[in-house]
Amino acid sequence: MRVDLSGQVAVVTGVLGRLGGIWADALLGSGAVVVGLDRTTTIPPEFGELLARHPSDRFHLVEADVTETASLRRALETCLVKAGSPTILVNNAGIDQPPAATGGSWHFGDIPADVSEAVLNVNALGVLRVCQVFGPEMVRKGTGSVINIGSLYGSMAPDPRLYEHLPQDPPFLKPPSYGMSKAGAAALTRYLAALWGPQGVRVNTLSPGGVLGGQDPLFRGKFSDRVPLRRMAEATDLTGPLLFLASDMSSYVTGTELLVDGGYVCW
């Protein structure tokens, strides 16, 4: 079934990242105008190739940082002028650790406070800030779908056995603030679904599991063995769930979390 999002204005944060491009491609392909927000407006080559598939007047790239409310307010103004009121909001910007941090190998007690704070600031408080700036415009219009991009790790601990092949002194530890931030964003989903439901704005979490990327082959194999569907997610596994939540196909769905994880949580 083709999803028709013509007439919709979709705001996507962290649009220049791997999944941001996947969301933008799917939304543009369904007819929406996309206003993409990111910390920079320098378009990476792979994103340029993706954009070339769509009419150029339907994509607007705006510089905005989800940790700075003033920049988000400016982005909303630009969105209203260039595209109109947002009707779809994809809170996708996220980090595992701050760009300045290297690696992720540390003993638990040594994980720097600034790493924890930066992750929570972008992944949890960032979603709150974006919703505070863009949400009231959706509520004013009385329609909209907010999709917060969560993670499997918002409800499951990273399995340390997946990293046992890496050097162990210190071991690789995904920062605990990552899962905490995603659980926090899912809590915000439920809060806003309750608050904005009466005004016609739906709010849901879309939580991917492991998505194929630059992972080393050992990790990829071990992760795939851990998943009932026996593989990591491809981009095309994620676009259907996004379009479902963005469109009227999910008109009676709000406050929920859609896990797209190949069944990882089943065992």
* 3, 11, 12, 16: which one binds ligand NAD (CB under 6 A): 16
Of the pair 98, 170, the CB lying nearest ligand NAD is at 98
CB 30 within 8 A of CB 23: no
* 9, 10, 12, 19: which one binds ligand NAD (CB under 6 A): 19
- Which helix (H) or strand (E) element contains residue 73? helix 69-82
Interaction of residue 17 with ligand NAD, rule CB under 6 A: yes
For the record, the structure tokens of 148 come out as 């917060």
Residue showing the smallest CB distance to ligand NAD in the complex: 17
* 25, 38, 137, 237: which one binds ligand NAD (CB under 6 A): 38
For the record, the structure tokens of 40 come out as 């920079």
Interaction of residue 148 with ligand NAD, rule CB under 6 A: no
- Shortest distance, CB of residue 17 to ligand NAD, whole angstroms? 2
What strand order describes the sheet that includes 88-91? 59-63, 33-38, 9-13, 88-91, 144-149, 201-208, 257-260
Interaction of residue 135 with ligand NAD, rule CB under 6 A: no
* 32, 211, 242, 259: which one binds ligand NAD (CB under 6 A): 211
* 144, 210, 241, 262: which one binds ligand NAD (CB under 6 A): 210
Q: How far apart are CA 88 and CA 242, in angstroms?
A: 11
- Shortest distance, CB of residue 264 to ligand NAD, whole angstroms? 11
Q: How far apart are CA 31 and CA 54, in angstroms?
A: 9
Give the list of residues 6+ apart from residue 69 with CB closer than 8 angstroms, or none.
Answer: 129, 132, 133
Q: How far apart are CA 130 and CA 185, in angstroms?
A: 12
Q: How far apart are CA 72 and CA 130, in angstroms?
A: 7
Q: How far apart are CA 241 and CA 22, in angstroms?
A: 12
Of the pair 142, 228, the CB lying nearest ligand NAD is at 228
Of the pair 18, 141, the CB lying nearest ligand NAD is at 18
Of the pair 35, 142, the CB lying nearest ligand NAD is at 35
Q: Which residues are paired to 204 by β-bridges?
A: 147
Q: How far apart are CA 101 and CA 204, in angstroms?
A: 31
- Shortest distance, CB of residue 192 to ligand NAD, whole angstroms? 17
CB 145 within 8 A of CB 245: yes
* 8, 9, 14, 144: which one binds ligand NAD (CB under 6 A): 14
Q: Between 75 and 94, how does the x/- string for binding to ligand NAD read (CB under 6 A)?
A: -----------------xxx
Q: Between 93 and 132, how does the x/- string for binding to ligand NAD read (CB under 6 A)?
A: xxx--------------------------x---x------
Residues lying near ligand NAD in the complex (CB under 6 A): 13-14, 16-20, 38-39, 65-67, 92-95, 122, 126, 149, 151, 208, 210-211, 213
